[in-house]
Protein backbone atom coordinates (compact mmCIF):
# COMPACT_ATOMS: atom_id res chain seq x y z
CA UNK A 1 0.00 0.00 0.00
CA UNK A 2 1.47 3.29 -1.01
CA UNK A 3 1.26 6.00 1.59
CA UNK A 4 -0.64 9.05 0.56
CA UNK A 5 -0.46 11.93 2.99
CA UNK A 6 -3.68 12.82 4.70
CA UNK A 7 -4.94 15.88 2.94
CA UNK A 8 -6.82 18.67 4.45
CA UNK A 9 -8.08 21.56 2.43
CA UNK A 10 -7.44 23.87 5.31
CA UNK A 11 -4.36 26.05 5.09
CA UNK A 12 -1.22 24.18 6.09
CA UNK A 13 0.21 25.15 9.43
CA UNK A 14 3.83 25.29 10.39
CA UNK A 15 4.65 21.70 11.32
CA UNK A 16 6.20 22.55 14.68
CA UNK A 17 3.19 24.50 15.78
CA UNK A 18 0.47 22.30 14.42
CA UNK A 19 -0.46 20.55 17.64
CA UNK A 20 -0.72 23.86 19.45
CA UNK A 21 -2.69 25.36 16.62
CA UNK A 22 -4.97 22.31 16.62
CA UNK A 23 -5.45 22.63 20.35
CA UNK A 24 -6.22 26.28 19.98
CA UNK A 25 -8.69 25.56 17.22
CA UNK A 26 -10.29 22.81 19.27
CA UNK A 27 -10.67 25.18 22.22
CA UNK A 28 -12.13 27.86 20.00
CA UNK A 29 -14.62 25.38 18.72
CA UNK A 30 -15.64 24.20 22.17
CA UNK A 31 -15.93 27.79 23.29
CA UNK A 32 -18.07 28.66 20.28
CA UNK A 33 -20.21 25.57 20.70
CA UNK A 34 -20.82 26.37 24.34
CA UNK A 35 -21.98 29.90 23.74
CA UNK A 36 -23.95 29.10 20.64
CA UNK A 37 -26.00 26.48 22.40
CA UNK A 38 -25.16 25.80 26.05
CA UNK A 39 -28.04 23.35 26.42
CA UNK A 40 -26.83 21.24 23.56
CA UNK A 41 -23.33 21.41 24.95
CA UNK A 42 -24.43 19.94 28.24
CA UNK A 43 -26.68 17.35 26.62
CA UNK A 44 -23.77 15.94 24.73
CA UNK A 45 -21.90 15.22 27.91
CA UNK A 46 -18.91 13.18 26.89
CA UNK A 47 -19.02 14.30 23.29
CA UNK A 48 -15.97 16.14 22.16
CA UNK A 49 -15.31 17.20 18.64
CA UNK A 50 -12.06 16.32 17.03
CA UNK A 51 -10.30 16.88 13.75
CA UNK A 52 -8.88 13.37 13.88
CA UNK A 53 -10.09 10.89 11.28
CA UNK A 54 -11.99 8.76 11.78
CA UNK A 55 -14.03 10.12 14.67
CA UNK A 56 -14.79 7.31 17.11
CA UNK A 57 -17.22 6.32 19.79
CA UNK A 58 -16.36 3.89 22.58
CA UNK A 59 -19.12 2.30 24.61
CA UNK A 60 -19.42 -0.58 27.00
CA UNK A 61 -21.69 -3.53 27.49
CA UNK A 62 -21.44 -6.14 30.22
CA UNK A 63 -18.99 -8.37 28.41
CA UNK A 64 -18.00 -6.27 25.42
CA UNK A 65 -16.47 -3.00 24.44
CA UNK A 66 -17.89 -1.46 21.31
CA UNK A 67 -15.80 0.87 19.19
CA UNK A 68 -17.53 2.61 16.31
CA UNK A 69 -15.95 4.88 13.75
CA UNK A 70 -17.48 6.90 10.94
CA UNK A 71 -15.52 6.09 7.79
CA UNK A 72 -17.63 7.31 4.85
CA UNK A 73 -15.99 6.68 1.51
CA UNK A 74 -13.54 4.13 2.88
CA UNK A 75 -13.61 0.72 1.22
CA UNK A 76 -13.83 -1.94 3.98
CA UNK A 77 -10.95 -3.72 2.21
CA UNK A 78 -8.78 -0.69 2.91
CA UNK A 79 -9.31 -0.80 6.68
CA UNK A 80 -6.82 -2.53 8.96
CA UNK A 81 -7.31 -3.22 12.62
CA UNK A 82 -4.84 -4.37 15.20
CA UNK A 83 -5.54 -5.05 18.83
CA UNK A 84 -3.46 -5.42 21.94
CA UNK A 85 -4.93 -5.77 25.40
CA UNK A 86 -5.38 -2.04 25.80
CA UNK A 87 -5.10 -0.41 22.40
CA UNK A 88 -7.12 -0.71 19.21
CA UNK A 89 -5.37 0.68 16.16
CA UNK A 90 -7.50 1.62 13.16
CA UNK A 91 -5.62 2.42 9.99
CA UNK A 92 -6.46 2.60 6.35
CA UNK A 93 -6.91 4.74 3.37
CA UNK A 94 -9.67 6.92 2.09
CA UNK A 95 -9.23 7.06 -1.63
CA UNK A 96 -10.23 10.04 -3.63
CA UNK A 97 -13.21 8.76 -5.50
CA UNK A 98 -12.76 10.56 -8.77
CA UNK A 99 -10.00 10.98 -11.24
CA UNK A 100 -9.20 14.34 -12.69
CA UNK A 101 -9.14 15.85 -9.22
CA UNK A 102 -7.44 19.02 -8.00
CA UNK A 103 -9.21 20.78 -10.82
CA UNK A 104 -12.83 21.63 -11.04
CA UNK A 105 -13.56 21.60 -7.31
CA UNK A 106 -16.23 24.13 -6.45
CA UNK A 107 -16.27 22.91 -2.87
CA UNK A 108 -13.91 20.53 -1.11
CA UNK A 109 -14.60 19.61 2.50
CA UNK A 110 -14.05 15.87 2.52
CA UNK A 111 -10.61 14.65 3.41
CA UNK A 112 -8.77 11.71 1.98
CA UNK A 113 -5.48 9.87 2.18
CA UNK A 114 -4.08 7.42 4.72
CA UNK A 115 -5.08 7.53 8.35
CA UNK A 116 -4.19 5.84 11.60
CA UNK A 117 -5.63 6.17 15.05
CA UNK A 118 -4.76 4.37 18.23
CA UNK A 119 -7.59 4.21 20.67
CA UNK A 120 -6.78 3.53 24.29
CA UNK A 121 -9.28 1.02 25.58
CA UNK A 122 -10.75 1.68 29.02
CA UNK A 123 -10.59 -1.99 30.01
CA UNK A 124 -8.38 -4.89 28.92
CA UNK A 125 -9.77 -6.97 26.06
CA UNK A 126 -9.20 -10.45 24.73
CA UNK A 127 -7.42 -9.89 21.42
CA UNK A 128 -8.57 -13.34 20.24
CA UNK A 129 -12.22 -12.37 20.33
CA UNK A 130 -12.69 -9.35 18.13
CA UNK A 131 -15.36 -8.94 15.47
CA UNK A 132 -15.51 -6.10 13.02
CA UNK A 133 -17.84 -5.04 10.27
CA UNK A 134 -18.12 -1.99 8.09
CA UNK A 135 -21.51 -1.00 6.77
CA UNK A 136 -22.68 2.21 5.10
CA UNK A 137 -19.53 3.97 6.18
CA UNK A 138 -19.74 2.96 9.82
CA UNK A 139 -17.10 0.64 11.23
CA UNK A 140 -18.18 -1.37 14.26
CA UNK A 141 -15.61 -3.31 16.30
CA UNK A 142 -16.84 -5.56 19.06
CA UNK A 143 -14.15 -6.53 21.55
CA UNK A 144 -14.65 -9.10 24.28
CA UNK A 145 -13.43 -7.90 27.63
CA UNK A 146 -10.61 -9.89 29.15
CA UNK A 147 -11.94 -12.24 31.78
CA UNK A 148 -10.32 -10.38 34.63
CA UNK A 149 -11.88 -7.13 33.40
CA UNK A 150 -15.46 -8.38 33.61
CA UNK A 151 -16.99 -7.55 36.94
CA UNK A 152 -17.92 -10.65 38.89
CA UNK A 153 -20.84 -10.81 41.21
CA UNK A 154 -19.67 -11.99 44.58
CA UNK A 155 -22.26 -13.55 46.83
CA UNK A 156 -22.15 -12.36 50.40
CA UNK A 157 -22.93 -14.96 52.98
CA UNK A 158 -24.89 -14.07 56.01
CA UNK A 159 -23.61 -15.06 59.39
CA UNK B 1 -8.67 24.83 -4.72
CA UNK B 2 -11.03 27.15 -6.41
CA UNK B 3 -14.03 28.35 -4.52
CA UNK B 4 -16.82 29.57 -6.63
CA UNK B 5 -19.52 31.29 -4.66
CA UNK B 6 -21.38 32.14 -7.80
CA UNK B 7 -22.23 28.60 -8.91
CA UNK B 8 -23.06 26.85 -5.65
CA UNK B 9 -23.63 28.54 -2.33
CA UNK B 10 -23.74 26.84 0.99
CA UNK B 11 -24.16 27.84 4.61
CA UNK B 12 -21.63 27.61 7.50
CA UNK B 13 -18.79 25.10 7.74
CA UNK B 14 -19.36 21.37 7.74
CA UNK B 15 -19.53 19.08 10.73
CA UNK B 16 -21.47 21.49 12.87
CA UNK B 17 -24.79 20.66 14.34
CA UNK B 18 -27.71 22.93 13.84
CA UNK B 19 -31.26 22.96 15.02
CA UNK B 20 -34.14 22.88 12.60
CA UNK B 21 -37.85 22.35 12.98
CA UNK B 22 -37.36 18.61 13.10
CA UNK B 23 -34.78 18.72 15.89
CA UNK B 24 -31.01 18.59 15.72
CA UNK B 25 -29.40 17.80 12.40
CA UNK B 26 -25.83 17.50 11.25
CA UNK B 27 -24.21 19.21 8.31
CA UNK B 28 -22.40 16.68 6.13
CA UNK B 29 -19.05 17.27 4.45
CA UNK B 30 -19.44 17.81 0.73
CA UNK B 31 -17.22 17.92 -2.33
CA UNK B 32 -18.55 19.47 -5.51
CA UNK B 33 -16.78 18.89 -8.78
CA UNK B 34 -17.56 20.71 -11.95
CA UNK B 35 -17.35 18.72 -15.15
CA UNK B 36 -18.18 19.99 -18.60
CA UNK B 37 -21.63 18.34 -18.70
CA UNK B 38 -22.53 18.10 -15.03
CA UNK B 39 -21.86 18.97 -11.43
CA UNK B 40 -20.98 16.00 -9.23
CA UNK B 41 -21.57 16.20 -5.49
CA UNK B 42 -20.04 13.75 -3.03
CA UNK B 43 -21.74 13.86 0.35
CA UNK B 44 -20.44 11.98 3.40
CA UNK B 45 -23.51 10.41 5.00
CA UNK B 46 -22.29 7.58 7.23
CA UNK B 47 -24.86 5.21 8.66
CA UNK B 48 -27.87 6.02 6.46
CA UNK B 49 -30.25 3.78 4.59
CA UNK B 50 -29.87 4.66 0.93
CA UNK B 51 -33.58 4.48 0.14
CA UNK B 52 -34.41 6.94 2.90
CA UNK B 53 -32.20 9.74 1.64
CA UNK B 54 -34.34 12.61 0.40
CA UNK B 55 -32.84 14.81 -2.30
CA UNK B 56 -34.92 17.67 -3.67
CA UNK B 57 -34.19 20.30 -6.25
CA UNK B 58 -36.60 23.18 -6.58
CA UNK B 59 -36.18 26.75 -7.82
CA UNK B 60 -32.41 26.42 -7.81
CA UNK B 61 -32.32 25.14 -4.24
CA UNK B 62 -30.93 21.70 -3.57
CA UNK B 63 -31.90 20.06 -0.29
CA UNK B 64 -30.39 16.89 1.10
CA UNK B 65 -32.03 15.24 4.07
CA UNK B 66 -30.78 11.87 5.28
CA UNK B 67 -32.42 10.26 8.30
CA UNK B 68 -30.08 8.41 10.63
CA UNK B 69 -31.42 5.93 13.15
CA UNK B 70 -29.72 5.73 16.56
CA UNK B 71 -27.02 3.05 16.57
CA UNK B 72 -27.03 2.45 20.27
CA UNK B 73 -29.86 1.68 22.65
CA UNK B 74 -30.84 4.39 25.10
CA UNK B 75 -28.86 4.20 28.31
CA UNK B 76 -25.66 3.07 26.62
CA UNK B 77 -22.55 3.63 28.73
CA UNK B 78 -20.11 5.70 26.70
CA UNK B 79 -16.42 6.19 27.33
CA UNK B 80 -15.87 8.46 24.39
CA UNK B 81 -18.06 10.18 21.83
CA UNK B 82 -16.36 12.16 19.12
CA UNK B 83 -19.36 12.53 16.87
CA UNK B 84 -23.06 12.95 17.26
CA UNK B 85 -25.61 10.67 15.63
CA UNK B 86 -28.63 12.25 14.01
CA UNK B 87 -30.14 13.21 10.69
CA UNK B 88 -28.01 14.95 8.10
CA UNK B 89 -29.40 18.06 6.48
CA UNK B 90 -27.96 20.61 4.13
CA UNK B 91 -29.15 23.01 1.48
CA UNK B 92 -27.37 24.62 -1.44
CA UNK B 93 -28.24 27.37 -3.87
CA UNK B 94 -27.28 26.30 -7.33
CA UNK B 95 -27.21 29.01 -9.93
CA UNK B 96 -25.93 26.76 -12.68
CA UNK B 97 -28.73 25.69 -15.03
CA UNK B 98 -29.52 22.12 -13.96
CA UNK B 99 -31.63 19.64 -15.87
CA UNK B 100 -33.58 18.29 -12.91
CA UNK B 101 -35.21 15.56 -15.00
CA UNK B 102 -31.86 13.90 -15.56
CA UNK B 103 -30.57 14.23 -11.99
CA UNK B 104 -29.57 10.91 -10.47
CA UNK B 105 -27.90 9.71 -7.30
CA UNK B 106 -26.34 6.63 -5.77
CA UNK B 107 -25.31 5.68 -2.24
CA UNK B 108 -22.38 3.41 -1.40
CA UNK B 109 -20.02 3.07 1.56
CA UNK B 110 -21.73 5.91 3.33
CA UNK B 111 -21.26 8.38 0.49
CA UNK B 112 -24.03 9.88 -1.62
CA UNK B 113 -22.96 10.65 -5.17
CA UNK B 114 -25.24 13.12 -6.84
CA UNK B 115 -25.11 13.94 -10.54
CA UNK B 116 -26.55 17.28 -11.58
CA UNK B 117 -26.51 17.44 -15.38
CA UNK B 118 -26.31 20.92 -16.83
CA UNK B 119 -29.00 21.93 -19.29
CA UNK B 120 -27.77 21.85 -22.83
CA UNK B 121 -27.56 25.63 -23.16
CA UNK B 122 -25.23 25.86 -20.13
CA UNK B 123 -22.71 23.44 -21.58
CA UNK B 124 -19.75 24.81 -23.44
CA UNK B 125 -20.37 24.22 -27.09
CA UNK B 126 -17.91 24.16 -29.88
CA UNK B 127 -19.28 25.99 -32.83
CA UNK B 128 -18.09 24.63 -36.11
CA UNK B 129 -16.97 27.25 -38.53
CA UNK B 130 -17.93 26.55 -42.07
CA UNK B 131 -15.21 27.36 -44.47
CA UNK B 132 -16.43 28.68 -47.77
CA UNK B 133 -14.85 27.80 -51.04
The enclosing domain of B98 has a CATH number of 2.60.40.790
CA distance A27 to A44: 16
Mean pLDDT along residues B34-48: 92
Determine, yes or no, domain membership for A131: yes
The b-or-e profile of A104-121 (16+ CB within 10 A means b, else e) is ebbbbbbbbebbebebeb
How many CB pairs below 8 A link A and B?
136
The domain total for chain A is 2
Domain that holds residue A69: 52-147
Q: Are residues A114 and A81 in the same domain?
A: yes
A155 within some domain: no
- Asked if residue B114 belongs to a domain, the reply is yes
Share of chain B above pLDDT 90, in %: 44
> B47 in a domain, yes or no?
yes
Q: Per the domain annotation, does A23 fall within a domain?
A: yes
Shared domain for A110 and A98, answered yes or no, is yes
Give the DSSP letter of residue A18: H
Q: Residue B78 is nearest to which of A52, A58, A110, comparing CB atoms?
A: A58
User: Is there a single domain that holds both residue A38 and residue A56?
Assistant: no
- pLDDT tens digits in sequence order for chain A, 159 residues long: 456 666 654 444 444 444 555 666 666 666 666 565 555 554 444 444 556 889 999 999 989 999 999 999 999 999 999 998 899 999 999 887 665 555 688 888 888 889 999 999 999 999 999 999 999 999 999 999 988 777 777 889 887
Domain annotation covers residue B10: no
Count CB atoms within 10 A of the CB of residue A55.
Answer: 22
Nearest Cα residue to B27 out of B39, B17, B37, B41: B17
Number of domains in chain B: 1
Q: How far apart are CA A109 and CA A97, in angstroms?
A: 14
Residue B89 lies in a domain: yes
Kindly state whether residues A45 and A70 are assigned to the same domain: no
Residue B78 and residue A52: Cα distance in Å, rounded?
Answer: 19
Chain B: residue nearest A50 by CA? B82
- Are A77 and A92 in contact, with CB atoms under 8 Å apart? no
A137, part of any domain: yes
Residue A34 has φ and ψ, to the nearest 5°, of -65, -45
Q: In whole angstroms, what is the distance from residue A55 CA to residue B81 CA? A: 8
Instruction: Inspect the interface and report whether the beta carbons of A49 and B111 lie closer than 8 Å.
Output: no
**What are B101-133's pLDDT values in tens digits?**
999 999 999 999 999 999 887 677 778 888 887
Residue ranges making up the domain that contains B37: 20-71+83-122
Among A80, A71, A66, which residue's Cα sits nearest to residue A122? A66
In a domain, B90, yes or no: yes
Asked if A76 and A132 sit in the same domain, the reply is: yes
ipTM score of complex: 0.77
Query: Same domain, yes or no, for A37 and A59?
Result: no
Ranked by mean pLDDT, which of B14-18, B37-41, B42-46 comes out on top? B42-46
In this structure, is residue B7 part of a structural domain? no
Taking the CA of residue A24 and the nearest CA in chain B, the distance in Å comes to 17
User: Both A130 and A59 in a single domain?
Assistant: yes
Amino acid sequence: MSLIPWKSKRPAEDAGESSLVDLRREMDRLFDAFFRSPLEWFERGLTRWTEAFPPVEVSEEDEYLLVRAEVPGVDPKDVELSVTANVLAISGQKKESREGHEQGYLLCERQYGTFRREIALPVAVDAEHVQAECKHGVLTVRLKKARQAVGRRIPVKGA
Amino acid sequence: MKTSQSTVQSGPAAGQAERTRSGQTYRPNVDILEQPEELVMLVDLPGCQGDQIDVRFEDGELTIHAPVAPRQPAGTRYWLREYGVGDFYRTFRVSEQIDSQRMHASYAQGVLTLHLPKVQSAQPRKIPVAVGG
